[in-house]
Amino acid sequence: MYQIVIEFVSLFLTGILAGEEFVVRYGVHASLAHLDEQSQIRVRQALILKLRVLVPAIILPTVVSAVAVLILNRYDSGFGFQCAGALALLILILTTIFGTLPINKGLLLWRPDAPPSNWKQLINRWALLDVVRSSAAILAFAFFLTAVALQLTGK
């Protein structure tokens, strides 16, 4: 019974993570490009301050529960898809730590009325890395869903 609960929690958290990443990437940040320079930087700074708490609060339990599922289901059908989902989560974490996080830290120091001369290049780099992050989260959810479907069908 506990195995089903852990798998449900993992799938639920991965779905929340994928949804959050999808909305931020394709909703929020896509809309920022339409703002003037100062407004765009202010909104980005406000988002970073909120999301640097919210996103880790979602990612950490998602990863812990995904690892627990891997350990518990290592002999079940769908294990390969669970491994793929875990790999996608690892890609998301590494892209965050070594890609978007350093840019975010620097962006918090920008003055909206006098951003660095390369601010657009940094935002473009961040956007590319964010496509990787959001895609990894969405793929992780799809892989975990596929694993559950395989378990339910017994294949």
Q: What is the pLDDT of residue 77?
A: 81
Question: What are 41-65's pLDDT values in tens digits?
Answer: 999 999 999 999 999 999 999 999 9
- Please give the Cα distance from 141 to 91 (Å, whole number): 13
Question: What are 129-140's pLDDT values in tens digits?
Answer: 999 999 999 999
Question: What are 60-110's pLDDT values in tens digits?
Answer: 999 999 999 999 887 788 899 999 999 999 999 999 999 999 999 999 999
Identify the three-state secondary structure at position 116.
coil
Q: What is the pLDDT of residue 39?
A: 95
Cβ neighbours of residue 1 closer than 8 Å, sequence gap 6 or more: none
Two tokens at 150?
């395989």
- Bin 78: left if φ > 0, else alpha if -120 < ψ < 50, else beta: left
DSSP string, 110-146: -BTTB--TTHHHHHHHHHHHHHHHHHHHHHHHHHHHH
- Please give the Cα distance from 150 to 153 (Å, whole number): 5
pLDDT bracket for residue 155 (50, 70, 90): low
Question: What are 108-127's pLDDT values in tens digits?
Answer: 999 999 999 999 999 999 99
Residue 33 has pLDDT above 90, yes or no: no
Q: What is the pLDDT of residue 14?
A: 97
Q: What is the pLDDT of residue 153?
A: 84
Two tokens at 19?
């949804």
Cα torsion at 27, 34, 118, 121 (round to 10°)?
50
pLDDT bracket for residue 4 (50, 70, 90): confident
Residue 27 has pLDDT above 70, yes or no: yes
Q: What is the pLDDT of residue 74?
A: 79
